[in-house]
Amino acid sequence: MNINMNTKKTPSSGIIKKQRLLGAAFAAPAALLVLFATIIPVAWNIVLSFSNWSIIGENSFAGLTHYMEVFANKAALKTVWQSITISLVASVTAMILGTCLAIMIYRVSRLEGAFFRFLFYGPGMLPMTVVGLLFTFVLATDEGLVNNFLKLVGLANLTSPWLAEKGTVLIVIGLVQGWRSSGTIMMLIYTAILGIPESLRESAHLDGASFITQVRRIILPLIRSTIQMAFSFMVMWAFKTYDIVWSMTGGGPGDLSKTTPILIVEQAFKFNKFGYASALSLVYAALIIFVIIIIRKGLGGETYEY
Amino acid sequence: MKKRMKQLVSILIASALIFSLTACGSKSESTGVAQDNGNAKTAEDTKSGGGENTKKQDLVMIITQATDFDKTLEEKINEEFGEKYNIIFKTWEEQSVEQTVKTAATAGEQIDLVKFWPMQMESFVSANLATDLTGYMDDEWKDRFTDTNILEMGTYDGKLYNIPYDNVYPAIIANSAILAEAGVTLPESGAWTWAEFEEACRTIEEKTDAFGAAIQKEQACWLVRNLFLQTWGNEEDMNAFIQGKVSFKDPKIVDGLEMIKKDFDDGMFYPGEGGLAVTQDQLYAAFSQGKYAFMFVPSSNVVGALDKTGITDYTIMDYPSMGTSENPPLLGGCNGWFIPKNAGNIEGAVEVMKFLQSEELSNYKLSAGKLVVTKAGANSKIDMTLLEALTRNANSIQPKEIMGLDAELNEYIMNLMPANYFNNGKSALDELDALREAALSR
């Protein structure tokens, strides 16, 4: 049986080819940027993690030595634990605060909402180092605002060296970072809430549902996928924390608040252990990816169409 | 036609983006030249008025901070070398200077002169990141030093990598008004023992509203470093420890650390809780408000601290002895400069160092309370009583410490002690011992 295949080019195939070329031309700058700013550094990082290299000198193959060192080094694992604590506190704080603020702004009038959006988004516009320095003054043991306020209201027994005590330093840094990020989370959640048709709320209102019930039964379920995305972003930002910890405590006292990013920079640029630092950074990146996968699986997130 | 125009515009935009990316790459390449052999990178500089293009070498230095004293130094350097070099000052920061220099070295960026401590050059020397200055130290330059033995501090394996310029060791400023109120008198000569110092602090706390002492967080390691030098009671044991032959779990070390821990637990150090997290601003502010009696401060900062706190009724006292010796060794050393391997203008950096150690500049620094190691001449405006108080223990300085064994050991003692011992107990000593053994095995 003969099948007559028509191999003649149609006029539209030329157009598609041109469109593809045009698309490639548009994508090229971005692709180059990604190649040089992400793919090559990551590849180089992987190569370094299997090497012994100290800025100047020969680069020799180290096998899995650096990875084994990472898991055998208690100090490194301690910083991972401290990073997890800070990021957990920061993420939960930012999500709860951001979501509550978004819902409250949605509740008020558009004019008031605009004012409060600007007000609450303010901290997000400040550099992390500025926020960190600001809070070192606020949380100072002797002349800090928090301790003096507690003394003023008769709660002197609650005063504490917030940034110098084992039990508080990680939580306080997490809270500050969470507060600073809450504005961004608020904007993401608020935008998602605006996408919910007003008719859904109106009909719930007519059925006698209070605003709290509407939030619980309508708003939160419908923005679940946005919450999941915001939470993933927040965890990623919080895990990468370097600047706020550095400006608030420098990782101290001792190594009480030293996070893995600080340790990575220290190992590379203080002790010239670039191979070890690269291995640690890759293990840490894998941990972040693992945590984000758990969050995405855990929160689920159905997409509603309305 | 309209479609073609769209395509043309699209291609133009894409080309512009590619060119901008390429331009970014080529710019960083052109500014990142640094050569080991000292061939300098040049910068285009147009003379004002003449319109003639001349080429000035860049001279990039990380030797000054944002203080009035350092700003004056910058002005003097600019006056002297501004015509010859394109001078760039980057702010020196204690916590980040090492990372800044090494990051620049990795990126191939030019840095010509850096302030760093001669005794802590191990991490630069072992990574081949410091320039050997032995050949530049000619007789004329050597002659400027009051004692050329000081150059030993910056010498590693017979090569000079760091040029010392100021002596620095722990000083203590006592607020005389608080001492008088508490009825505490300082010894007429010599130093208190640590036990006597603790007793004085307790008396002050009982009889006044002030705390006994305060120490800036960056200097808290002094308590441990002096313990490591003074606890042995004889030179032989001290040297064995410095060479790494003695464990950090030696009973003398553990007892000494427990003693310091108890002082902090008892609230002897301002502000009671959190005594290891005091910043310089907090230290100065509390001293000026009379919140504590004894301020631990580097000898090179005494004049600046007195200026900033405004305290005029004071006494410079000797550091209390933490051992049994009557004339205990004292931690200390020098500030110094070194030229990183990524320097592009070694000659210029050497000229600046020589200029800063000239008689005129030494004189100026001495008048600001800096204990220069070079000859300063007789015209100094320095307060001789203060100078005498600051220099009377200079001979007790022990230039070698156990920290010199290894960069990580140095980092642990300098930045993590005594806080890690207070928080983690003996596991901190295990970590120190592991670093000591690793250093010895290398």
Q: State whether residue B289 sits within 8 Å of chain A by CB.
A: no
pLDDT the model gives residue B56? 86
CB neighbour list of residue A199: distance below 8 Å, 6 or more residues apart: none
Q: State whether residue A266 sits within 8 Å of chain B by CB.
A: yes
Q: How many inter-chain contacts (A to B, CB under 8 Å) are there? A: 114
CA distance A254 to A269: 19
Q: What angle do CA A271, A277, A279 make, to 5 degrees?
A: 150
- Chain B residue whose CA is closest to A264: B99
Q: State whether residue A164 sits within 8 Å of chain B by CB.
A: yes
CA distance B101 to A159: 40
Contact assignment for B273 to A164 by CB distance below 8 Å:
yes
CA distance B143 to B374: 9
CA distance B188 to B169: 21
Q: Cite the DSSP H helix spans in B266-396.
A: 280-288, 302-309, 346-356, 359-367, 384-391
List all residues of chain A from 17 to 36 with a beta carbon under 8 Å from chain B.
18, 22, 25-26, 28-29, 32-33, 36
Say which of A56, A142, A160 has its CB closest to residue B127.
A56
pLDDT the model gives residue B28? 37
- Binned at pLDDT 50, 70 and 90, residue A56 comes out as low
pLDDT the model gives residue B394? 76
- Which pair of tokens denotes residue B328? 């205990």
pLDDT the model gives residue B100? 87
List all residues of chain A from 241 to 260 with a beta carbon under 8 Å from chain B.
249-250, 252-256
Identify the DSSP state of B397. B
CA distance A214 to A196: 12
Contact assignment for A55 to B105 by CB distance below 8 Å:
yes
Please state the separation of Cα B245 from the chain's center in Å. Answer: 27
Per residue in A197-233, pLDDT tens? 988 888 888 888 898 999 999 999 999 989 999 999 9
Q: State whether residue B11 sits within 8 Å of chain A by CB.
A: yes
Phi and psi torsions of B211, nearest 5°: -80, 165
Contact assignment for B274 to A255 by CB distance below 8 Å:
no
CA distance B68 to chain A (A): 23
- B295 forms beta bridges with B173, B214
pLDDT the model gives residue B13? 57
Domain A66-299 falls under CATH 3.30.200.20? no
Instruction: With beta carbons under 8 A apart, name residues in chain A contacting B273.
Output: 141, 160-161, 164-165
pLDDT the model gives residue B379? 59
Query: In A248-267, which positions are buried (b, 16+ CB within 10 angstroms) versus exposed (e)?
Result: bbbbbbbbbbbbbbbbbbbb
Per-residue pLDDT, averaged over A44-59, amounts to 83
Q: How many CB atoms lie within 10 A of CB A242?
A: 15
Q: What is the mean pLDDT of each run of 10 residues along chain B (442 residues)?
A: 64 54 39 36 41 74 90 94 94 85 87 92 87 94 88 90 91 95 89 93 96 95 95 91 96 96 96 92 95 94 90 92 82 90 94 93 85 75 75 80 88 94 94 94 84
- Residue B279: name the closest of A155, A12, A295, A133 by CA: A133
By the 10 Å C-beta count (0-12 exposed, 13-18 middle, 19+ buried), B203 is classed as middle
pLDDT the model gives residue B43? 42
Instruction: With beta carbons under 8 A apart, name residues in chain B contacting A256.
Output: 419, 423
- Binned at pLDDT 50, 70 and 90, residue A101 comes out as very high
CA distance A245 to A169: 10
Contact assignment for B273 to A160 by CB distance below 8 Å:
yes
CA distance A275 to chain B (A): 14
Instruction: With beta carbons under 8 A apart, name residues in chain A contacting B95.
Output: 250
Q: What is the 3-state secondary structure (H, E, C) of chain A?
A: CCCCCCCCCCHHHHHHHHHHHHHHHHHHHHHHHHHHHHHHHHHHHHHHHCEECCCCCCCEECCCHHHHHHHHCHHHHHHHHHHHHHHHHHHHHHHHHHHHHHHHHHHCCHHHHHHHHHHHHHHHHCCHHHHHHHHHHHCCCCCCHHHHHHHHCCCHHHCCCCCCCCCCHHHHHHHHHHHHHHHHHHHHHHHHHHCCCHHHHHHHHHCCCCHHHHHHHHHHHHCHHHHHHHHHHHHHHHHCCCHHHHHHCCCCCCCCCCCHHHHHHHHHHCCCCHHHHHHHHHHHHHHHHHHHHHHHHHHCCCCCCC
Instruction: With beta carbons under 8 A apart, name residues in chain A contacting B103.
Output: 269
Contact assignment for B416 to A254 by CB distance below 8 Å:
yes
Q: State whether residue B106 sits within 8 Å of chain A by CB.
A: yes
CA distance B301 to chain A (A): 22
pLDDT the model gives residue B254? 96
Contact assignment for B274 to A165 by CB distance below 8 Å:
yes
- Chain B residue whose CA is closest to A74: B431
Say which of B128, B217, B422 has its CB closest to residue A57.
B128
Is the ipTM value over 0.90, yes or no? no
Per-residue pLDDT, averaged over A155-180, amounts to 93
Locate tokens 């980092």: which residue?
Answer: B411
By the 10 Å C-beta count (0-12 exposed, 13-18 middle, 19+ buried), B159 is classed as middle
CA distance B130 to chain A (A): 11
CB neighbour list of residue A102: distance below 8 Å, 6 or more residues apart: A185, A186, A187, A189, A190, A193
Contact assignment for B10 to A271 by CB distance below 8 Å:
no
Q: Cite the DSSP H helix spans in B300-412.
A: 302-309, 346-356, 359-367, 384-391, 407-411
- Which pair of tokens denotes residue B228? 């490591």
Q: State whether residue A141 sits within 8 Å of chain B by CB.
A: yes
Locate tokens 């590379």: which residue?
Answer: A268
pLDDT the model gives residue A298? 79
Say which of B277, B415, B420 has its CB closest to residue A161.
B277
CA distance B319 to A119: 52
Contact assignment for B271 to A142 by CB distance below 8 Å:
yes
- Residue B213: name the closest of B297, B281, B135 by CA: B297
For chain B, list the domains and their CATH numbers. 42-168+333-383 (3.40.190.10), 170-331+406-441 (3.40.190.10)
Per residue in B312-337, pLDDT tens? 999 999 899 988 777 788 888 789 99
CA distance A179 to chain B (A): 23
